């Protein structure tokens, strides 16, 4: 009889292993940071785990930078992101929309809000010509590209006419703080976020003004331009057919009040209009950014020259250290807060090493490296990997093995 018990034990262990392996990961664009994203989206994961038999669902906060590698490595089965990010990824990776988010009040569209301090004297988009404006990233659809269309319609090219245009990275909350503290004249955020933070008690709506807020009079939130379809729930190619169909059914069943979710899901809207907007941005914005890339390349070369000078030599007469401007001091202070491991990862990124290669060199998982990459963009406020490398090289933080605490 012993062999029977042994066989049962093996089958039990095997079934347990199979159950553990049946985990579906949902990447969610963390535009307000990882912690807030998990708090907001974990209820959906719990709902799907309860409704889709044999599967457990897990939320994975992702960034604009980390998402492609997460998809290519097979770490994600599903992705929830903004429509601009979706159409860009869909073209390269074959994502398909299963449903469109429907927020409270039946809202299935959203817009962008360009905000300024109420006491700034700024009241129109045209008033920002020559002003300092903050946004998430040039790759952020709701965090920049929608606003770019609104500005271009007013004859303003953000890449040329803002002085400066600052890309601060996620979360959007920090852009609001920068406006509130007058670090910038205006900020670009997702429409409705200002009202959400006010409802949470974090800000006073009367302290801010949303520019061109009459653009969508029948919309409950103040926005500065046109509306686009809400975020899609998408599936990666090659997904198990039964899992895909079970998730679609479960999402559509959120229309019932019994789901208990704050936001529900409807049949997917068309994202062709978003694709057109994204293509127009890519075609025109890239030419506008050409001179910025030239300047960035010049600064990169200058940084390489400066950092290769002999080290530990006393200053010679007439060769005293240059005074560091306040903006540079702020950037250096951000890099000084990086941990030793983050600086190691940063140095390898600057050497052009891909995430998988970094993971192998440091003997850690690819997910850990993506976590570090996301933290680096957040902590340094670089916004994009290219800008991160530019800053790191300019100030000598690409020499990770010689730095760190």
Is the pLDDT confidence value at 51 over 80? yes
Position 402 scores a pLDDT of: 39
> Per mean pLDDT, which of 145-149, 360-364, 373-377 is the most reliable?
145-149
- Percentage of the chain beyond pLDDT 70 is 81
CATH architecture of 289-307+326-402: 3-Layer(aba) Sandwich (3.40)
Give pLDDT, residue 370.
82
374: Cβ contacts below 8 Å, ≥ 6 apart: 30, 34, 61, 62, 63, 65, 66
Reported confidence tier of residue 39, pLDDT bands at 50, 70, 90? very high
CA distances, 268 to each of 71, 76, 232 (Å): 21, 20, 7
**% of the chain exceeding 90 in pLDDT:** 41
In the structure, what pLDDT confidence band is assigned to residue 400 with cuts at 50, 70 and 90?
A: low
**pLDDT of 286:** 59
| Omega of the bond leading into 270 within 30 degrees of 0 (cis) | no
Per-residue pLDDT at 353: 77
pLDDT score, position 2: 52
pLDDT at 371: 82
Tell me: pLDDT of 246 over 80: yes
Give residue 225's pLDDT. 86
Question: Do 150 and 157 form a contact (C-beta atoms < 8 A)?
Answer: no
- Report domain extents, the chain: 2-107+230-279, 109-210, 289-307+326-402
CA 232/CA 270 separation, integer angstroms: 10
Confidence of residue 130 (pLDDT cuts 50, 70, 90): very high
C-alpha–C-alpha distance, residues 384 and 181, integer Å = 24
Evaluate if residue 229 carries a pLDDT over 70.
yes
**Does 57 score more than 60 pLDDT?**
yes
Distance CA 48, CA 380 (A): 36
Q: Do 2-107+230-279 and 109-210 fold alike per CATH?
A: yes
pLDDT for res 329 = 80
Sign of the alpha-carbon torsion through 379, 382, 383, 388: negative
Residue 186 pLDDT more than 50?
yes
Is 359 a residue whose pLDDT tops 70? yes
* Sheet (strand 165-167) strand order: 165-167, 133-135, 186-190, 112-117, 208-210
Q: Which CATH superfamily is domain 2-107+230-279 in?
A: Periplasmic binding protein-like II (3.40.190.10)
Mean pLDDT value across residues 311-327: 47
pLDDT > 80? residue 295: no
pLDDT at 167: 82
Tokens representing 340 are 């030793």
Q: Residue 360: what pLDDT? A: 85
What's the predicted TM-score (pTM) here?
0.62
Cβ neighbours of 381 (radius 10 Å): 20
Position 306 confidence tier, pLDDT thresholds 50, 70, 90? low
Q: What is the per-residue pLDDT across 76-87, written as a single tens digit (0 to 9) for each?
A: 999 999 999 999
> What is the pLDDT, as a whole number, of residue 321?
41
Architecture of the 109-210 domain: 3-Layer(aba) Sandwich (3.40)
Q: How far apart are CA 5 and CA 3, in angstroms?
A: 5
Under 8 Å between Cβ of 254 and 47: yes
Q: What is the mean pLDDT of the chain?
A: 82
């Amino acid at each position: 009889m012993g062999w029977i018990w042994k066989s049962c034990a093996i089958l039990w262990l095997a079934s347990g292993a199979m159950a553990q392996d049946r985990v579906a990961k949902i990447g969610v664009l963390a535009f307000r940071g990882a912690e807030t994203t998990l708090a907001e989206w974990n209820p959906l994961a719990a709902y799907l785990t309860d409704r889709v038999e044999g599967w457990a669902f897990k939320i994975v906060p992702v960034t604009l930078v980390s998402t492609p590698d997460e998809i290519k490595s097979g770490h994600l089965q599903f992705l929830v992101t903004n429509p601009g990010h979706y159409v860009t990824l869909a073209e390269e990776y074959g994502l398909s929309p299963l449903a469109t988010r429907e927020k409270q009040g039946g809202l299935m569209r959203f817009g962008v809000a360009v905000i300024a301090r109420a006491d700034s004297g700024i009241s129109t988009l045209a008033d920002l010509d020559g002003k300092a404006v903050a946004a998430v990233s040039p790759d952020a659809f709701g965090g920049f590209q929608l606003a770019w269309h609104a500005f271009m319609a007013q004859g303003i090219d953000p890449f040329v006419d803002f002085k400066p245009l600052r890309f601060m990275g996620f979360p959007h909350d920090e852009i609001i703080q920068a406006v509130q503290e007058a670090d910038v004249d205006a900020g670009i955020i997702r429409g409705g976020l200002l009202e959400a933070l006010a409802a949470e008690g974090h800000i006073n709506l009367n302290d801010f003004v949303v520019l061109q807020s009459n653009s969508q009079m029948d919309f409950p939130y103040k926005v500065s331009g046109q509306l686009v379809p809400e975020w899609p729930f998408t599936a990666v190619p090659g997904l198990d057919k039964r899992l895909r169909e079970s998730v679609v059914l479960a999402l559509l069943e959120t229309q019932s009040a019994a789901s208990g979710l704050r936001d529900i899901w409807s049949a997917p809207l068309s994202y062709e209009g978003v694709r057109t907007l994204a293509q127009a941005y890519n075609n025109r914005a890239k030419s506008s950014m050409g001179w910025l890339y030239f300047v960035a390349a010049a600064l990169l070369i200058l940084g390489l020259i400066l950092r290769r000078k002999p080290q530990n030599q006393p200053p010679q007469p007439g060769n005293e250290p240059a005074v560091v401007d306040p903006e540079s001091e702020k950037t250096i202070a951000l890099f000084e807060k990086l941990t030793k491991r983050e600086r190691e990862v940063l140095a390898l990124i600057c050497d052009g090493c891909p995430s998988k290669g970094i993971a192998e060199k440091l003997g850690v998982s690819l997910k850990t490296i993506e976590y570090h990459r996301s933290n680096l963009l957040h902590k340094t406020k670089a916004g994009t990997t290219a800008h991160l490398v530019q800053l790191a090289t300019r100030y000598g933080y690409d020499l990770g093995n010689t730095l760190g605490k």
